């Protein structure tokens, strides 16, 4: 099954159109300005000298490449001369400063000229992978082959060093990315060299520890660089448990799944199925975020879903979407498209401020200001920041958002022969090819009514019945219900929405006895500014008449219901159970809207009766 490319999808109204407009009008420029201010674009000139400011960092190229990829997607959707100029300037600078043998790296070409490919932890292949993805985006958008050919030369150089001469200080990337990028290069060129190099890096992983040992020797202070940290502990087909740095992991798993689909490799497919289950059944927060620990930005153990200390990097959520998308391509099961939905509405959206200019790197799953600031940053516990920022030293997440939002159309529909699969519900049109167009009319996620009309002929369509929808009455296979759409005749799906209270399994100890609140695909939270402090003390009344509204300041949906809080006497720290309580009301907002005012308490998991 092949997803229908976003270039054949027009999101023309509603919830996601607003976000794509915000991205195009604000976010792309905000990140460009930050990258200009911090010297990331200037670094591409590869002319930094000792004593000058803004020495290019080992992964600045990847930040720019992700921004460039997102800018290309954005410009493809709605051409903009000034953006196109920035795009072309960036590409021209890359091509101008590529070395004769095809190498490009603004850090190494200015600060470590004679240490190319010696240090597994210095991101050279990670940066090369992101340039490849930008080059694919540019070729697909324009048909111009210059950038793509530049990366073809770079690939030939990497093959020469890692496969032919084998004269490098390591055998596989310290940060996976190039594996999935090479498969995208293969998709657009059909040149087997890309497929073979990707398979080479996948097959070499977890075999020879020399590269890792060398990197550990170079950086003894980086105690987190272990084999599991970069998934180098086992051959990939033996990896059934998600471990290590979460972004590295899901980028690897994305490549493994794509390679499995391309080659029919059952070992890769089996490993991916086990890894996807391990993540989504034991290591995923209810928001769709992953990577519990700041130590290594990593997975830890099963059910380590502590909301207060959650790390939950934005890039990891995006990588999980990529992984789920590749799994979905192999097996149209709503297990995968439900996870994509959960992450889109509740982690990707939450990472970005409502004004589109600030971002979470780590995404708090609960905030209690006096705890988050108790150590004033001097403790081993790294409390997540409670507010989004506009500028980061390590700025991998913002450009990842910049490239995801304009390409959301990639996640809406797929074709399996003549059968259309409809995975996500966004208002707009999908070009099905052969003169057929699918029109999607919906106010989702405000309500669950979706009106579908195909023109240009009839269509067999399998529509995902969202996992959050119970009592829907549809016959489903792997979560999809079949509709036979007749040319020009509208069919309406109805997924009734109600306020739902979700509980976690007993192993997920941090949430025992509490419930999360979800309406449709959207998770709701409480903020102190709307409900007073000590949110954890609130007991929500499930059977309240939950009233939908619009927040007067944030202009986002609200849910208001009844709740109780306990009333303690002054100075009373402990008391007999069953003391005084008072009834109050609770106002919930979408989790994606929290922390757009000031740092304050935020809670996702409530006592409910």
Closest CB to ligand FUB among residues 179, 297: 297
- Which CB sits closer to ligand FUB, 176 or 278? 176
CA 463-468-471 angle, 5° bins? 80
61 binding ligand FUB? (CB under 6 A): no
User: How far is Cα 577 from Cα 590, in angstroms, rounded to an integer?
Assistant: 32
What does 175 interact with, of ligand FUB, Zn ion, none (CB < 5 to 8 A by kind)? ligand FUB
Is position 396 an interface residue for ligand FUB (rule: CB under 6 A)? yes
For residue 468, the partner it binds in ligand FUB, Zn ion, none, with Cβ less than 5 to 8 A by kind, is none
Nearer Cβ to Zn ion (195/315): 315
User: For ligand FUB, which residue of 278, 297, 366, 601 counts as binding (CB under 6 A)?
Assistant: 297
CB-side exposure of 208: number of CA atoms within 13 Å?
A: 14
Q: Which residue has the tokens 């985006």?
A: 137
CA 221 to centroid of chain Cα atoms? 29
Secondary structure class of 363 (helix, strand, coil): coil
Contact between 290 and ligand FUB by CB under 6 A: the answer reads no
Q: Cβ 318 to Zn ion, closest distance in Å? A: 8
> Which of 43, 466 has the CB closer to ligand FUB?
43
Site string for ligand FUB, 84-123 (x = CB under 6 A): ----------------------------------------
Cβ-based nearer residue to Zn ion, 177 or 601: 177
In the complex, the smallest distance separating the C-beta of residue 239 from ligand FUB, rounded to whole angstroms, is 18
Q: Which of 207, 301, 381, 394 binds ligand FUB (CB under 6 A)?
A: 394
State yes or no: residue 222 binds ligand FUB (CB under 6 A). Answer: no
Task: Please state, in angstroms and rounded to a whole number, the distance separating the CA atoms of residues 594 and 586.
Answer: 15
The pair phi, psi for residue 134, each rounded to 5°, is -65, -35
Task: Kindly report whether the peptide bond that precedes residue 445 is cis, defined as omega within 30 degrees of 0.
Answer: yes
| Of 132 and 315, CB closest to ligand FUB | 315
| Cα–Cα dist 254/183, whole Å | 10
CA distance 538 to 362: 26
CA 378 to centroid of chain Cα atoms:
30
Closest to 586 (Cα-Cα) out of 526, 523, 516, 501: 526
**Residue 592: how many CB atoms within 10 A of its CB?**
23
Provide the 10 A C-beta neighbour count for residue 137: 26
Q: In what order do the strands lie in the sheet with 449-455?
A: 9-11, 428-433, 436-442, 449-455, 491-494
Residues that bind Zn ion (CB under 5 A): 315, 396-397
Give the footprint of ligand FUB on residues 17-56 (CB under 6 A): none
Round to whole Å and give the CA distance between 414 and 9.
11
Q: Which does 540 bind (CB under 5 to 8 A by kind): Zn ion, ligand FUB, none?
A: none
| Closer of 397 and 483 to Zn ion (Cβ) | 397
Contact letters for ligand FUB, residues 311-330 (x by CB under 6 A): --x-x---------------
Q: How far apart are the first and last CA of the chain?
A: 44
The nearer residue to Zn ion, 256 or 396, going by C-beta atoms, is 396
301 binds, options Zn ion, ligand FUB, none, Cβ within 5 to 8 A by partner type: none
Residue 297 binds which one of ligand FUB, Zn ion, none, with CB within 5 to 8 A depending on kind?
Answer: ligand FUB
Chain residues that interact with ligand FUB, rule: CB under 6 A: 59, 175, 247, 297, 313, 315, 394, 396
């Amino acid at each position: 099954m092949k997803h229908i490319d976003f270039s054949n999808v027009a999101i023309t109204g509603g919830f996601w159109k607003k976000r794509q407009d915000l991205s195009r009008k604000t976010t792309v420029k905000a990140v460009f300005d930050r990258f200009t201010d911090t010297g990331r674009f200037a670094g591409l000139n590869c002319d930094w000298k000792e004593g000058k400011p803004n020495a290019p960092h080992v992964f600045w190229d990847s930040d720019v490449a992700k921004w460039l990829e997102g800018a290309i997607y954005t410009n493809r959707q709605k051409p903009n001369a000034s953006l196109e100029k920035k795009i072309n300037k960036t590409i021209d600078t890359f091509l101008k400063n590529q070395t004769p043998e095809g190498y490009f790296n603004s850090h190494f070409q200015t600060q470590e000229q004679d240490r190319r490919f010696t240090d597994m932890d210095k991101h050279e292949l990670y940066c090369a992978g992101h340039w490849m993805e930008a080059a694919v985006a540019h070729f697909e958008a324009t048909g111009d082959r210059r950038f793509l050919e530049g990366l073809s030369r770079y690939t030939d150089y990497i093959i020469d060093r890692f496969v032919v001469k084998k004269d490098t200080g390591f055998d596989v990337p310290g940060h996976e990315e190039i594996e999935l990028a090479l498969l995208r290069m293969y998709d657009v060129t059909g040149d087997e060299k890309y497929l073979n190099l990707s398979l080479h890096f996948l097959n070499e992983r977890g075999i020879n520890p020399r590269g890792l040992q060398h990197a550990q020797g170079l950086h003894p202070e980086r105690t987190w660089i272990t084999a599991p940290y970069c998934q180098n502990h086992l051959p990939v087909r033996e990896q059934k448990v998600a471990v290590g740095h979460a972004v590295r992991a899901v980028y690897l798993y994305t490549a493994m799944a794509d390679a499995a689909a391309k080659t029919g490799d059952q070992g890769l497919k089996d490993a991916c199925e086990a890894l996807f289950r391990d993540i989504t059944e034991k290591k995923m927060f209810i928001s769709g975020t992953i990577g519990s620990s700041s130590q290594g930005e990593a997975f830890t153990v099963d059910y380590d879903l502590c909301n207060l200390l959650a790390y939950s990097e934005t890039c990891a959520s995006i990588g999980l979407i990529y992984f789920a998308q590749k799994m979905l391509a192999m097996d149209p099961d709503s297990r995968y498209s439900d996870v994509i939905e959960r992450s889109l509405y509740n982690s990707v959206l939450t990472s970005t401020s409502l004004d589109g200019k600030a971002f979470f790197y780590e995404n708090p799953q609960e905030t209690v200001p006096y705890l988050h600031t108790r150590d004033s940053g001097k403790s081993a516990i790294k409390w997540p920041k409670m507010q989004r920022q506009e500028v980061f030293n390590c700025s991998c997440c913002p450009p990842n958002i910049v490239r995801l939002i304009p390409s959301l159309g990639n996640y809406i529909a797929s074709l399996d022969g003549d059968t259309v699969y409809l995975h996500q519900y966004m208002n707009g049109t999908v070009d099905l090819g052969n003169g057929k167009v699918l029109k999607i009319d919906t106010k989702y996620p405000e309500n669950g009514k979706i009106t579908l009309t195909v023109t240009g002929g009839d269509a067999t369509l399998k529509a995902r019945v969202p996992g959050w929808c119970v009592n829907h009455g549809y016959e489903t296979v792997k979560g999809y219900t079949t509709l036979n759409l007749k040319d020009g005749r509208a069919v309406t799906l109805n997924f009734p929405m109600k306020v739902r209270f979700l509980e976690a399994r007993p192993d997920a100890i941090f949430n025992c006895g509490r419930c999360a609140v979800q309406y449709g695909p959207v998770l709701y939270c409480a903020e102190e500014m709307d409900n007073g402090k000590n949110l954890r003390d609130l007991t929500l009344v499930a059977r309240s008449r939950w009233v939908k509204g619009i927040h007067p300041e944030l202009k986002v949906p609200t849910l208001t219901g009844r709740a109780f809080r306990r009333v303690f006497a002054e100075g009373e720290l402990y008391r007999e159970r069953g003391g005084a309580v008072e009834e109050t009301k609770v106002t919930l907002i979408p989790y994606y809207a929290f922390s757009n005012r000031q740092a304050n308490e935020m809670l996702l998991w409530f006592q409910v009766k």
